[in-house]
Structure 1
Amino acid sequence: MEVRNGTFSTDSLLATTVAKYEARGHRANQPTVAMEGAANHEEEDDMNGEPVVHSHIEITETLVRLYVFLSQVLDRSLNEAARRTYPEQELQLHLASTRAEMMEILSVNRVVKDKVEQECHRVLALSAACLTNGAAKAAAMDELNAERAVLKNKTMALSDLLAVFRAS
């Protein structure tokens, strides 16, 4: 991540996260198996009956990836250059896939799952409002900037946590 002229840029983090995601063999339309069971974080895979374990690293990586994609959606609403940086269809595909994966992982905790889902809806609604013309756009822009700052802080904190997990 880098900061340019006081603005948070997710380009390098986005490229790294997508590359790692795809290097692990994930595709945007590939279903994932969520963690289940509060004690051992396992769920049986319907295909072969083997338990799938989601590590803290994998959970954190997925959440970072989701926040990076949501940040990219907001960046695209703020300026034209960001819209040209990353094709809309590809962004939406990665966002939908990552969001579905995160919702599956969070299925063990309804409260957190609902909070993350509400955050996704809020970001997408703000983005849509900022792309329209009219009086609502100005108010939405202020909210969008505030939401962008929240996502920036969450992404940085989770990135630091991920670095600690990986170093352990």
Structure 2
Amino acid sequence: MNSAAADLVRLLTVKGETVAVAESLTGGLVAAEITAVSGASKVFRGSVTAYATDLKHGLLGVDATLLAERGAVDPQVAAQMAAGVRKALGADWGLATTGVAGPEPQDGQPVGTVFVALDGPSAAHSGSAGGGKVLALRLNGDRAEIRMESVRSVLALFLRELASEQTGNERAQDTEQNGGF
């Protein structure tokens, strides 16, 4: 079991928040990591494995023109997938993965090109594309290694976001307790 997934479940439980996942190249592996954690049912809303490009539009609301012009392996597509799954499944947070695991290039993108994204209550203030955060990755290895590193990367991105949000809240409380100084 992934310790990042366990940390995420713990932090989300404490905060009373939920997460949903939209996956393409990872094919359900992110959802499997999260649901392997005891207590995940308190925070995990569900997932959509939108492997086919038309499902990214039909189920997750990714802009059809964007998909037609740039293909599914694109940072804006990842951002819209995260926002779309968050809305579709009624979660506080949405995570997404899209990319090329191989063995062949896809949409003009080389093997190992991956975009992972998150969308949530505090992500909107980050100033990144789509009201969330997107991480562009260039991964090496075989298909299985690229998929597992994509899972690790999206969970790490989410954990960093939750940890920075927690730190920000603690700083705000310290400031309030110290008379604003």
TM-score interval for Structure 1 and Structure 2 normalised by the shorter chain: 0.3 to 0.5
Higher helix share: 1
Q: How high is the TM-score relative to the length of structure 1?
A: 0.35
Between 1 and 2, higher relative CO (CA 8 Å, sep ≥ 6) is seen in: 1
